[in-house]
Amino acid sequence: MNMSYRVFQKRLECGMTLIEMLCFMALALCILIGIFLATVIIESWYGWLLGVALGFLLFFIPLMALAVLKDLWSGSGLPKCRNGCCRGPGNFSGYGDYDTQKSGEEYYEVCKCGDRYKRHGKRFVLVNEDGTETPYLIWRRFRGWYPDEGQPCRVR
């Protein structure tokens, strides 16, 4: 039997998690509110259809706003390389020019130019050929990536 099939089967037996159940209930509530608002404004049968669409919007627009706010706060995604020609994956797209490679027990982000980088929390450092790390960029909330002047990065 396929391993992924067994995991899927076990997942079906467990039912919903609490967060999935709460999200489902919130979606149902938003759809009901949307139907109510649409039928009050448009007193016709297609008010129900418009209400369902309005309910989905009431549910997903705040979720997308929270996702964007989280990305602006925590800085997911990687910056451009120091040469400026390779870009990191964006906040909502997983595509970028960096390739994750393992060297020993360490993982590095390698751009197409051949430079190796590593992320330590809010810092994005350049890893030299001898293994030393040079500060490159630091993430600042709601402002993005800025040049990192100074403090050497702590190795964890």
**Which of 74, 104, 125 marks a domain boundary?**
74
Answer yes or no: do 93 and 59 share one domain: no
Answer yes or no: do 49 and 88 share one domain: no
Domain around 68: 3-74
pLDDT value at residue 106: 80
Answer yes or no: do 98 and 60 share one domain: no
Answer yes or no: do 7 and 27 share one domain: yes
Q: What is the pLDDT of residues 29-86, one digit of tens each?
A: 999 998 888 888 887 778 888 889 989 999 999 989 988 888 777 776 778 888 878 7
Dihedrals phi, psi of 23, to nearest 5 degrees = -65, -40
Answer yes or no: do 89 and 27 share one domain: no
**Which of 74, 106, 132 marks a domain boundary?**
74
Answer yes or no: do 135 and 89 share one domain: yes
Amino acid at 14: C
Dihedrals phi, psi of 31, to nearest 5 degrees = -65, -40
Query: 């390779």: which residue's tokens?
Result: 86
Number of domains, the chain: 2
**Which of 74, 101, 132 marks a domain boundary?**
74
Of how many residues is the chain composed?
A: 156
Answer yes or no: do 64 and 139 share one domain: no
pTM above 0.75, yes or no: no
Paired tokens of 52 = 């369902």
- Which of 12-21, 88-97, 135-144 has the lowest average pLDDT? 88-97
Query: CA 155 → CA 49, 65, 131, 140, distances in Å?
Result: 56, 34, 11, 20
Between CA 149 and CA 123 the distance in angstroms is 11
Answer yes or no: do 51 and 88 share one domain: no
Answer yes or no: do 87 and 155 share one domain: yes
